[in-house]
């Protein structure tokens, strides 16, 4: 069991690198969208992403599982794109927007 | 924008391969747990997985984002481990268990 778990840990570290690579490209994309005044949320593109991954799926994960996984990944991408844009546009406001745990009384600090 | 999107698509296809590799190891692990009569859900191991990925995180994804992403990944692993065990233990029942969209009247087929 330990051997299998160490193999999963190795895969997980590679997943972290790839997910961070993806996040960096998403931030770059968010910057372009912001310059061109395009919305961050583009439902047609999100379906394209899901379709792309489902087409190349060799299993054992089912199509529906991949959809759930990539909905989460896309959701985090959208969040990080927005955070990066907010930081660029209003650096002083970045703290409350980025933390995700901002309380209404934070403004009193 | 198209160039960035094609780069994201390439990363996504690599993510699919890794996620499927991970699922295969999870199924193997589930088989061992089942033989040894161990529970599929092992909260301490799940925290170990989250800790492992958070420690190697170089950003830009935040720690909390990685936790959310890996909670989803772990959830799908647990589901596929259970499905694989159910298929081994009761092959005739596998169809309704695995599809996730089984209707009560499926049994009439």
Give B36's contacts (C-beta < 8 A, 6+ positions apart): none
Q: Is B19 on the interface with A (CB under 8 A)?
A: yes
**Of B71, B82, B79, the residue nearest B43 (C-alpha):** B71
**Of A24, A22, A31, the residue nearest A73 (C-alpha):** A22
Handedness of CA B77, B82, B88, B93 (dihedral sign): negative
Contact A11 B17 (CB under 8 A): no
Q: Is A102 on the interface with B (CB under 8 A)?
A: no
Tell me what percent of the residues of chain A surpass a pLDDT of 90.
Answer: 77
DSSP letters spanning B29-84: HHHHHHHTT--S--HHHHHHHHHHHHHT--SSS-HHHHHHHHHHHHHHHHHHHHHH
B54 pLDDT higher than 50: yes
pTM over 0.90: no
Q: Is A62 on the interface with B (CB under 8 A)?
A: yes
pLDDT of B98 reads: 45
- Segment B8-19 shows an average pLDDT of 98
Q: Which CATH number fits domain A2-94: 3.30.70.270, 1.20.59.10, 3.60.20.10, 3.20.20.450?
A: 1.20.59.10
pLDDT of A22 reads: 98
Q: How far apart are CA A88 and CA A38, in angstroms?
A: 16
**Bond before B60 cis per omega within 30 degrees:** yes
Contact A4 B58 (CB under 8 A): no
pLDDT digits (tens, 9 = 90+) for A38-52: 999 999 999 999 999
Tell me what percent of the residues of chain A surpass a pLDDT of 70.
Answer: 83
Q: How far apart are CA A84 and CA A24, in angstroms?
A: 10
């Amino acid at each position: 069991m330990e051997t299998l778990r160490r193999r999963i840990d190795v895969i997980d570290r590679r997943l972290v690198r790839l997910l961070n690579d993806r996040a960096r490209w998403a931030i770059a994309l968010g910057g372009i969208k912001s310059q061109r005044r395009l919305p961050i949320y583009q439902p047609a593109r999100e379906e394209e992403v899901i379709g792309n991954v489902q087409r190349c799926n060799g299993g054992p994960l089912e199509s529906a599982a991949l959809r759930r996984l990539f909905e989460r990944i896309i959701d985090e991408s959208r969040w990080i794109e927005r955070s990066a844009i907010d930081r660029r546009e209003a650096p002083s406001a970045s703290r409350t927007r980025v933390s995700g745990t901002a309380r209404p009384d934070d403004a009193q600090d």
